[in-house]
Amino acid sequence: MVDLPLQVLVQNAALLLAVAVVFDAVSLRVDFERTRLQQAVAGLLLGVIGISLMLTPWQFAPGIFFDTRTVLLNIVGLFFGAIPTVAALAVMITWRAVQGGPAALTGIIGMLVAAGIGLWWRRRQRDNLENLSFRDLYLFGLGAHAVTLVQVTSLMYLTVPAAAAAVLGRYWFPLLAIYPVATALLGVLLVSRLRARRLADTNARLQRQVEAQLEEVRASRARIVEAGDRERRRVERDLHDGAQQRLVALSLELRLAQNALGADADPAVRTRLEHAADEAQAALADLRDLALGIHPLILTDSGLEAAVESLADRSPVDVTIDIGPERYAPNVEGAAYFVIAEALTNVAKYAKAKTATVRAMARENVLRIEVADDGIGGADLASGTGLRGLVDRLAVLDGTLTIESPVGGGTRLSAQIPCVRAVSPPAPAGSRPTSAGLRQEVHGT
């Protein structure tokens, strides 16, 4: 055991590297070195590694032994900073003091020097740690252990002069041959760890940014659709309360003017008034078509079932409706209505169908809509901008749209919209003792 210091010290260095690799794998996951307490805990663990090195030294004589703890302390000082270094030193110095022996003081001072060199270089390399190369780290290790050699030599001559020459004669070569390499290897390990950590931090930051941006995009898309819906309702109402009412008033004025003309009036004036009234009438018809396409009054007033019946009334295809009188949030009703309206339009335009079925039913807070026909099939979501728009519209509500349309096998359009069922059935202000019965009869088909 006394012989072959080179072999023993290589083994000791290998032990250091092996433990460091394990430590690295574990601490990367636990993510040490965040708070002061965590830094101190990391330091204590590093100190324990130091003890494990001191348990397998090259022993020259009882109380005089050598191991790679200075390599560990160089690196701890350089990469971990003050708090872990002090904690590790406390553990290792305590251990060395307990072991005692003639070289105890030399060993303890050697540890302080090694840690000090590491910390000193850390100050100089603060922002450059992750760029250190193997060569940089080797030279660092070489320099640090040259200092250690000088320090050990002088202290040995002071404390154990009898053994000093013999010890140092066998120690200097392994010290300068093995320790700088071990320092460089351990350093490279930590540099790669720093880089991995920096990369992970960057990734996490980017991911948070992307998620935040995605959330913002979703929110803004919802706001845009919401604003569009609100705007449609406003335009429809403005049309009604403004232009349409004024045109009716204008027609009335024209009629009253005609009435006021009397029997002996100029027939040309009468004709002019007639034409003006006809123009007002035509304008009203135009506005009516416009308003109908903007937002259906019946949807707001009577809900999805009645609004779909209105669509069915206008459809050339025989439409069977299976929708309850339940009401949903306005945006859900709006989306459901436009899905069904677009689907029925497509049925009428392209499907060559005789009959269609519209179903809508809420189960487990999802409104499931299905529009099926017995037409020629062959439709797909990519074919029409109308369907594309519906997908976008549903996506805002986290809804989905699917289409099954085998050629010759009819088309089945399904939409699912998350919803919370609102009041059901609609309960308008004021008592309507007969209306429930009326509705039942009307819908009792």
Partner 1 sequence: MTRLVLADDSVLVREGIARLLVDAGLEVVAQVGDADALLRAVREHHPDLAIVDIRMPPTHTTEGLRAAEEIRAEHGSAIGILVLSHHVEPSFAVRLLADGAGGVGYLLKDRVNDVDDFVDAVRRIARGGSVIDPSVVSVLVGRRAKVPLDDLTEREREVLSLMAEGRSNQAIADRLSMATKTVEAHIANIFSKLELLPAPDDHRRVLAVLAHLRGQVEVGP
Q: What does the binding site for partner 1 look like in residue numbers (CB under 8 A)? A: 237, 240-241, 244-246, 248-249, 251-253, 255-256, 259, 277, 280-281, 284-285, 287-288, 291-292, 297-298, 300-302, 306, 309-310, 312-319, 354, 428, 430-435, 438-439, 441-442, 444-445
Name which of 43, 59, 50, 148 is nearest 95 in CA terms.
50
In contact, 185 and 17? CB cutoff 8 Å: yes
State CA 220 to chain mean position distance.
16
Of the pair 11, 300, the CB lying nearest partner 1 is at 300
In contact, 339 and 390? CB cutoff 8 Å: yes
Terminal Cα-to-Cα distance of the chain (whole angstroms): 102
Of the pair 236, 370, the CB lying nearest partner 1 is at 236
**Which residue type, as a one-letter code, is found at position 435?**
S
For residue 251, the minimal CB distance to partner 1 (Å) is 5
Of the pair 212, 249, the CB lying nearest partner 1 is at 249
Of the pair 241, 392, the CB lying nearest partner 1 is at 241
- From CA 330, how far away is CA 259, in angstroms rounded? 46
Name which of 258, 253, 70 is nearest 171 in CA terms.
70
For residue 365, the minimal CB distance to partner 1 (Å) is 27
In contact, 52 and 95? CB cutoff 8 Å: no
Q: How many helices (H) and strands (E) does the chain have?
A: 13, 7
Of the pair 117, 319, the CB lying nearest partner 1 is at 319
**Which residue type, as a one-letter code, is found at position 356?**
A
Name which of 414, 392, 393, 391 is nearest 332 in CA terms.
393
Question: How many residues would you count in the chain?
Answer: 445
For residue 402, the minimal CB distance to partner 1 (Å) is 27
For residue 438, the minimal CB distance to partner 1 (Å) is 5
Of the pair 184, 254, the CB lying nearest partner 1 is at 254
Of the pair 259, 385, the CB lying nearest partner 1 is at 259
- From CA 61, how far away is CA 102, in angstroms rounded? 9
- From CA 438, how far away is CA 441, in angstroms rounded? 5
For residue 341, the minimal CB distance to partner 1 (Å) is 15
For residue 416, the minimal CB distance to partner 1 (Å) is 27
For residue 367, the minimal CB distance to partner 1 (Å) is 21
For residue 419, the minimal CB distance to partner 1 (Å) is 21
* Contact partners, residue 12, CB within 8 Å, separation at least 6: 53, 56, 57, 58, 67, 68
For residue 218, the minimal CB distance to partner 1 (Å) is 31
The Cβ of residue 9 has, within 10 Å, a number of other Cβ atoms equal to 23
Of the pair 71, 319, the CB lying nearest partner 1 is at 319
For residue 429, the minimal CB distance to partner 1 (Å) is 8
- From CA 295, how far away is CA 309, in angstroms rounded? 15
Q: What residues are paired with 404 via a beta bridge?
A: 412
- From CA 259, how far away is CA 243, in angstroms rounded? 24
Of the pair 44, 276, the CB lying nearest partner 1 is at 276
- From CA 276, how far away is CA 285, in angstroms rounded? 14
Of the pair 316, 425, the CB lying nearest partner 1 is at 316
Checking DSSP bridges between strand 355-363 and strand 366-373, what pairing results, if any? antiparallel
